[in-house]
Structure 1
Amino acid sequence: MASARTWIRFTRPFTLLPPGLGVVSGAITAWGSVWNPDPAHAITWAVVGTILLGTACAGLLNAGSNVINQIYDLEIDRINKPERPLITGAIGIPPAWRFAVVLYMAALLPTWLVVTWPETTLVAKFMAPLARHECIFIYALGTLFTFVYSAPALGRTKASTIGANLTIAIPRGLLLKVAGWSMVASIFHIEPWFIGGIFFLFLLGAASTKDFSDMPGDRLGGCRTLPIVFGVRTAARMVAPFFVLPWFLMPLGAYLPDPLAPEHAILTGNPVLLTGFGLGLALWGSYVVYLILRDPDALAESENHPSWTHMYLMMMVAQLGFAASYLL
């Protein structure tokens, strides 16, 4: 029987921080926006508890996604990741499936209790009308995307040149921010989708950085990733703009009027901070582009190319930047 440490390693815990941070950041932006339904903008135990619950569920959902991805990628991981528990035999396929089901249920069901103000008690949240339970639908959609990405019966977009990036960028970029927002305010405004759209565009290209070192196993598994289809050098040039251009939407959103509410900008946080973070991230992205294009072949030769590390760090700094821009 596998040890607790092995089961934890199976979930790839180092990947759980970005989604948790994304949810918290999304909730903070909603709290600091003009769309906060509580006119007092109070920080209550109900608000904090809801955000903590949603954050925990985001981590569990990501863990479940990691587990099923390893199940479906078994043959690919024999080449690319031979040290993983399913490959070494430390964990078997049937218990891995049971573990995934537990993780998905633990991630999805509690989000029924994520309901915004004025419902503040657990009973009120539980009994709220269906339309008030926006968060659980976002999480359910995110769950579906994890299976569409990995499962052949649902399309396995991981094997698709563009589909793979879309089914990473939509749940981990767009929906993640909207899910965090839904813990404090309604998602039926342009602002949360605009913010999510920035992260969607970033991940649409940046997510491909992991594909370069995985080419041998991906090729064997029939995955038509960008570097396999277009070659390393062309694929590197294709993903480079996504490290820079999305961040210019931050200063634009800070000053362009909301089409549905023109009395204020699309982004209702601190415009100076939003502009500063946006330009700073664009400069940072330009440096990452330099690292990528200086020696594109190194992307395929190194399992942990600096661009992969920078992608994660940029995501986390952007999350913190949005949170700060709506708090200060």
Structure 2
Amino acid sequence: MFMNFRSIGTFIRDFLRYGNGIVIILAVVYTLLFYSLAECEPDSVVLVLSGLLGFLTYSYDRMHDLGEESDILNSPERTNWLRANYTFMVYLCAMAAVISFIAMLLRPAAIFPIISTIGLAFAYSLPILRDGKSLKKIPGVKTALIVVLWVILTFLIPMTVSGVHWSFQIIGGILYESLMIASIANLNDIRDTPGDRLAGVPTIPVIFGVRIAFFFSLVTIIAATMVAVTLGNWVLVMLSVIGTIGLLFNSSQVLEMLR
């Protein structure tokens, strides 16, 4: 029985790391941030929508790139896990799509921002441009697209459904999230630099180098901390400070790995 619990724990850990389970958690957390700043009651249907749509968006991109050499080079552990659990992920994505569709019918005001999210998700990965490239292969666009997707999922969808108007707090929350997501996405790009070079994805570390990319993440996360202080939200300040400490703690390891 102990081994079963251990196996279950290992699977959950790997799902969070490799199966985009952490995306569900982050999407729900940032959506709750919107409701906190808007000072209104959280909508459970919208929370489900944000979490599952985030999961589907990231899972589609991961599954789409699964057979590419660059993806294997970036994260062989993730690629191996996804291949070993491919059927599970397909069924899980199908269930998430069905539940998201039902939730969308329950909250029809969310349809337009959801369609925008789906369109951006496809444009991010599929070769829709004349030269056969996807949007993420335009220099500097990848991080911006990721930020826009997160803002739509966690702020614009709940904002549209709840009818909350723009305010200083909402704009500040969007700015805070944008800076944090940009910092995290750029750190992931630093990790994925070898594969992105191979695939021809012009991310910030590919264009400007790992050191400049690292300082970009550091500056954006410090800027997010300043926004949190301006908002007077000390929970966000604490999260930003923890993120900054973690970034600095791992800086030498990151720079040494990708020098």
TM category, shorter: 0.7 to 0.9
Give distance in 1, aligned partners of 2:89 and 2:126. Answer: 15
Deviation at 1:212, TM superposition (A): 1.8
- Partner amino acid, structure 2, of 1:14: I
Structure 1 equivalent of residue 125 of structure 2: 150
For 1:152, what is the secondary structure of its paired residue?
coil
Tell me the amino acid that sits aligned with residue 56 of structure 2: G
Deviations 1:76-101 (A, max 9, x none): 32322334368746537xx9778756
CA 1:285–1:100: 2 relative to 1, 3 Å: closer
Q: Which of residues 54, 58, 67 is equivalent to 2:59?
A: 67
Structure 2 letter corresponding to 1:144 = G
Distance 1:296 1:82, change over 3 A: closer
In structure 2, do the counterparts of structure 1 residues 97 and 147 end up closer, same or farther at CA, with 3 Å as the change threshold?
farther
* Identity %, equivalent residues: 17
Which residue pairs with 1:212 in the alignment? 190
1:186 alignment counterpart: 163
Q: CA deviation at 1:281?
A: 4.7
Gaps of 5+ in 1: 37-46, 115-132, 255-272, 302-328
The corresponding residue for 1:111 is 104
Structure 2 residues without counterparts, runs of 5 or longer: 1-10
CA contact (8 A) 1:142 1:171 kept: yes
Q: TM-score, normalised by structure 2?
A: 0.74
- Which residue number corresponds to residue 124 of structure 1? none
Alignment of 1:261-272 (within 5 A): none
CA RMSD, Structure 1 to Structure 2 (Å) = 3.4
Rounded to whole Å, the distance in 2 between the matches of 1:13 and 1:282 is: 22
Deviations 1:297-316 (A, max 9, x none): 14638xxxxxxxxxxxxxxx
Query: Could you say what secondary structure the match of 2:258 adopts?
Result: helix
Provide the residue aligned with 2:33 in structure 1: 25
From 168, 185, 203, the counterpart of 2:146: 168
For these two proteins, the number of residue pairs brought into alignment is: 239
Higher helix residue share: 2
Aligned to 1:91: 86
TM-score under structure 1 length normalisation:
0.60
1:212-231 counterparts in 2 under 5 A? 212-231=190-209
Structure-1 separation of matches of 2:26 and 2:236:
19
2:118 counterpart letter in structure 1: T
Match status 1:80 vs 2:80: no
Shift, 1:145, TM fit? 2.1
Larger Rg computed on CA atoms: 1
Q: State the distance in 2 between where 1:278 and 1:246 align.
A: 9
